[in-house]
Amino acid sequence: MSLKTLVLTCLAMTAFAANSIFCRFALEEGEMDAGTFALIRLVSGAIVLGILSGRHAFRPPPVTDGGKPWAMPLMLALYALFFSYAYVNLGTGTGALILFGAVQTTMITAGVLAGERPGLVRILGMATALMGLIYLVFPGLSAPSPLGAFLMTLAGISWGIYSLLGKQVLNPVAATAFNFIWAVPIVIAPIFFLSGFTLPTNLDGSGFWAAILSGTLASGIGYVVWYAAIKELSPGRAASVQLTVPVIAAAGGILFLAEPFSLRLFIASAVILSGVGVALVPQKKFSLKNIKKYDMIFLKKE
């Protein structure tokens, strides 16, 4: 992984974590309903990205051969809807486990089907990171709402597919603008149906501004950065790095939402970050051939 990709990936994960914080704040402290949050999030992101991209934002973005540009706004819309409505019925820890478990499963499965064969070291790294995530959220888990768990699983699958489609994008800014603009009309009908065809409320409070920041910065700009980074990441690596988001979000919750710090959070964070670090190490460094070569060098020195 190049330094540029590493920096872009870190920025994207930070943006995703910030998006989680904005969402929790809007739904809990800002007293905003899930549908309104999802709509404002997409509309604000579409406006900012549309300004940056100009008229090109309304056209299907250029993609590599076999790409499906119209599938991207659909997956983004489904993710935004499922994510917002799932958190109405799920706790933060339960939702994070279901979401990122579904994302990792989706992307790793896609990588294996595409011919990616992660080595033993990478598998151990990914498993370690996942165990750290489970350790982080398991003590607070309760029997989840079947509907909430189902919706969050769909959100994770949608986000995993959306991320994989991003590998085909040639212009991240134009592609993300296109996705947000066309995701808006997709979500309008379901949101108004679920809200009983009433107009959004609470458009002048703190929840409203949290949704704006979520759409413009954490989602809009964050997804542009992610599309730029994922080009050099395999599906397995892209899935692994996203397990850092709950750790970053938890740290943000401590700093900005006055959530309590715990030793469990510290230990789980160390385990997750260690596992991700191992999973990102190039496999050739741990190949059997290289190990034998190092053994021969060591024996000769003796």
Which residues on adjacent β-strands are paired with residue 169? Answer: 63
Residue 218 has pLDDT above 60, yes or no: yes
DSSP string, 45-101: HHHHHHHHHGGGGGSPPPBSTT--TTHHHHHHHHHHHHHHHHHHHS-HHHHHHHHHH
CA distances from 12 to 150, 181, 208 (A): 26, 20, 23
Q: In whole angstroms, give the CA distance from residue 275 to residue 131.
A: 9
Least confident of 61-70, 71-80, 276-285: 276-285
Angle between helices 263-280 and 245-256 (to 10 degrees): 150
Given CA atoms 209, 211, 213, 215 in this order, what sign does their dihedral have? Answer: negative
| Higher-scoring residue by pLDDT: 40, 232 | 40
Q: In whole angstroms, give the CA distance from residue 112 to residue 1.
A: 20
- Could you list the residue range(s) of the whole structural domain that residue 237 is in? 3-301
pLDDT of residue 200: 65
pLDDT of residue 284: 56
Given CA atoms 181, 233, 81, 244 in this order, what sign does their dihedral have? Answer: negative
pLDDT digits (tens, 9 = 90+) for 143-160: 667 888 899 889 999 999
Task: Give the percent of the chain with pLDDT over 70.
Answer: 82
- Are 64 and 132 in contact by the 8 Å Cβ rule? The answer is no
Q: Number of structural domains, the chain?
A: 1
